Amino acid sequence: MDTKETFFKHITEGNTTKGDFIPIGAAMLNGETVTGAHVKIPLKTMNRHGLIAGATGTGKTKSLQVLAENLSDKGIPVLLMDIKGDLSGLAQPSPGHPKIDERHEKIGLPFEAKSFPVEILTLSEQDGVRLRATVSEFGPVLLSRILDLSETQSGVLAVIFQYCDDNKLPILDLKDFKKILQYATQEGKAEFTEAYGRISTASTGAILRKVVELEQQGADLFFGETSFDTQDLLRIDENGRGYINIIRLTDIQDRPKLFSTFMLSLLAEIYSTFPEQGDSDRPELILFIDEAHLIFNEASKALLSQIESIVKLIRSKGVGLYFVTQNPTDVPEAVLGQLGLKVQHALRAFTAKDRKAIKLTAQNYPDSEYYDTTEVLTSLGIGEALVSALDEKGRPTPLAATMMRAPMSRMDVLTDVELSTLLSKSKLVKKYNKDIDRESAYEMLNEKIELAEAEEAKEKARQEKEALKKAQSKSRTTTRSSGRRSTRMNPIVKVLTSATFIRSVFGILTKVLKK
C-alpha cells in the first residue's frame, strides 16, 4: 500500500462517525487534494466550542460561512457577529463559478447553490432588529465586572440594587442608573444611611464616571426596553432549517467596551435561561464571534474570568462558541484549552515575533506522521486549512490539511434593496423596534423628590405662617398696652401733679390774705 492509500485510510477511518456530521472538505497530502478523504465534524461534539484562525485574506470568513450554512441545514440555529459586514450574503444563493465547480470536483462533494433563513440584528442605530437589555437584568455582580469596580464600589452597587428591589424601582436604562446613584448621596442620603448605612460620594462618583465611559461607547442605545428574548435565537423556518441570526457590528469596532458588555450579557442570559442538555447528539445553538480579540484585548481580569467560566459551563446547555481571529494567541490559554475544533488557515511569518507565534500555534495541534505542522501553517493556500476536531467519543481526529468546500450562499453582502426587503418581512423587527420609555427609577425618584420638596415647602410655609401669626399677636398685645398707658395716669405722676396744684392754690390764697 503506497503512502497516498495509507493516508486515505488514516483520514477516513479517523473521521468515521455513526451520528450526523458536517463534511467541510477533503484532506490534502503534499499540497494535493485526496478526493473522497472527507474531513467531518460530528454534530455531537459541536457544543465543545472551536476556533477559526488565520491571516487576513486566507478564508476564515468563508469557513465560518460554510459551518453556519451546514448547521442551518441540519436544523440548528446560528448567531454570527458580523464585524466586517460581509456575512449578510447568506440570505442569497451563490451565483456559482467554474472555480467552485473545480474545487468541489477535487473534494468529491456535490455543489448546490442555496439561500438560508436570515435575521439581521443590531446593537446600534443601523437597520435591523434592535438588541436591548435592562440594567436590572444585568444585576450588581455582572455590572460590577463590566465596569471593573473595586470591592468597595461593588458593595455600593449591591446596596443600590437592593434599595431598588426593596422600593420596587425598575432600573431600565442608564438614565435610571445615574439618577439612583445621584439620589443615594444627595436627596436620599438620610434614607439610605438609616436603612443601609452611609454611602460614600467618592464611591458613587467613581461608579458614575465608569457609567459615563460606557455610555460614550453607545451603551445608552443598548440598555433599555424591549429586552431581547434569547429564545428568539432558536427559531426554525417552515422547511426545518435553523435561522442564521447576524448581528451587524460594523460601526462598533472602535467601541470594544460595548461589544464586551453585550457578549457577556448575552452569554449570561443564555446560560441562565437555557435548560440543561446533558450529553446531547446535537447542539441547540452555535455562536460565532468574529474578531474575538476585541473581547479579550479590552476585557478586565474580572471580565475575563467571567468569560472563561461561561465558556466552561455553557456547553452543558447545548451551546457551542466559536472564536474567529487572526492568531490563536489572541485567545487566552484558559479559553483556548476548552476549544475542541480548530480550523487554522495560513499564518504569515514576516517577523521573528511571527515565527515564534507560529511555533507556539503548531504546538496546539496533535502530532502527525504526514505533516510538519510548522511548515504547513505557512504554506497553506486561500481556502485551505489545518483541521483538528473531536470524534464522537471526544478524541482528537487525525490532523488534516484540508481543501475547504465553498459556501452555498453568496460570498458578498446584500444590496440596500435586498436588505430592506429582508427586514420588511421580519417578525422580530415588528416585535423589538418600538421605543418604550415606561415609568421607571428616573421618573419615580423625580416624583419622590418633587413630593418631598413640596412637603418641605408646605412645612416651611406653615412655619412662616405660624411665625407671622405669633408676631401679629405680639404686636396687638403691645398696642393695647400702649393705649392703656395713655388713659390711666401713672400713680407717681398723679401724686406729683396733685402736689403742684395744691401749691399753686395755697400761693394764690396767701397773696389774697396779705391784701
- Identify whether 155 is part of a domain: no
Q: Taking 90 as the threshold, does the pLDDT of residue 94 lie above it?
A: yes
Model confidence band, residue 91 (pLDDT cutoffs 50, 70, 90): very high
248, 389: one domain? yes
Do the domain assignments include residue 329?
yes
Give the per-residue pLDDT at 338. 87
Residues 366 and 262 both lie in one domain: yes
Residue 274 sits in the same domain as residue 377: yes
Looking at residue 482, what is its pLDDT? 57
Other C-beta atoms closer than 10 Å to the C-beta of 278 total 7
Q: What is the per-residue pLDDT across 445-492, written as a single tens digit (0 to 9) for each?
A: 777 667 766 766 777 777 878 878 887 777 766 665 555 554 454 554
Looking at the structure, tell me whether residues 405 and 464 fall in a common domain.
no
Overall average pLDDT of the 143-162 stretch: 89
Cβ pair 318, 356 in contact under 8 A: no
Q: Is residue 499 part of a domain?
A: yes
Residue 495's pLDDT is what? Answer: 44
User: Which CATH number do you get for residue 47?
Assistant: 3.40.50.300
Least reliable range by pLDDT among 148-162, 349-363, 405-419:
349-363
199-219 pLDDT per residue, tens: 889 999 999 999 998 888 888
What does the radius of gyration of the chain's CA atoms come to, in whole angstroms?
Answer: 39
Asked whether residue 331 is assigned to any structural domain, the reply reads: yes
Question: How many Å is the maximal CA-CA distance in the chain?
Answer: 183
**Residue 496 binned pLDDT confidence (cut-offs 50, 70, 90):** very low
Q: Where are the beta strands (DSSP E) in 140-256?
A: 244-248
* Statement to judge: residues 357 and 487 lie in one domain: no
The answer for residues whose C-beta is within 8 angstroms of residue 428's C-beta and 6 or more apart is: 119, 121, 129, 232
User: Per the structure block, which three cell numbers stand in for 161?
Assistant: 440594587
By mean pLDDT, which of 41-45, 90-94, 249-253, 291-295 is the weakest? 249-253
Write out the DSSP string of 361-404: HHTTS---SS--HHHHHHH--TTEEEEE-B-TTSPBPPPEEEEE
* pLDDT on residue 16: 85
Q: Is the pLDDT of residue 514 over 60?
A: no
Domain count, the chain: 2
Instruction: Compute the distance between CA of residue 377 and CA of residue 344 in angstroms, rounded to an integer.
Output: 8
Does 312 lie in the same domain as 248? yes
Domain contains 454: no
**Is the pLDDT assigned to residue 421 strictly greater than 90?**
yes
DSSP structural state of residue 236: B
Task: Find the mean pLDDT for residues 506-515.
Answer: 53
Select from 220, 126, 106 the least CA-distant residue to 416.
126
Q: What is the predicted pLDDT for the residue at 477?
A: 67
* SS3 state of residue 27: strand
Residue 168 lies in a domain: no
Give the count of beta carbons closer than 10 Å to the beta carbon of residue 501. Answer: 10
- Reported as type and span, the H/E element at residue 509 is helix 491-514
Check whether 65 has a pLDDT greater than 90.
yes
Please compute the mean of the pLDDT values over residues 313-336 and round it to a whole number.
Answer: 89
Residue 492: per-residue pLDDT? 44
290 and 367 fall within a common domain? yes
Nearest-10 Cα torsion for 101, 78, 64, 98: 10
Domain boundary, last residue among 388, 409, 430? 409
User: Mean of the pLDDT values across residues 375-396?
Assistant: 92
Q: Which of 391, 409, 427 is the last residue of a domain?
A: 409
Q: Check the CA dihedral 127-133-134-138 and report its sign.
A: negative
354-384 pLDDT, tens per residue? 888 888 888 888 888 899 999 999 999 999 9
* Same domain membership, residue 249 and residue 124: yes
- Asked if pLDDT for residue 339 goes beyond 80, the answer is yes
Q: Which domain holds residue 500?
A: 459-514
- 403 & 465 share domain: no
- For residue 184, give every residue at least 6 positions away whose Cβ sits within 8 Å of its Cβ, in sequence order, or none: 156, 159, 160, 163, 192, 199, 204
| pLDDT tens string 133-144 | 888 888 898 888
**360 and 248 within one domain:** yes
Query: Is 234 within a domain?
Result: no
Q: Are residues 371 and 284 in the same domain?
A: yes
Using the 3D structure, point to which of 390, 409, 428 is the last residue of a domain: 409
pLDDT higher than threshold 90 for residue 189: no
The reply to whether 60 falls in a domain is yes
Q: Average pLDDT of 404-420?
A: 94
Do both 490 and 350 map to the same domain?
no
Q: Which of 44, 40, 200 is nearest to 107 (CA)?
A: 40
Q: Could you give the CA distance from residue 71 to residue 233 in angstroms, rounded to a whole number? A: 14
Q: Is the pLDDT of residue 512 over 60?
A: no
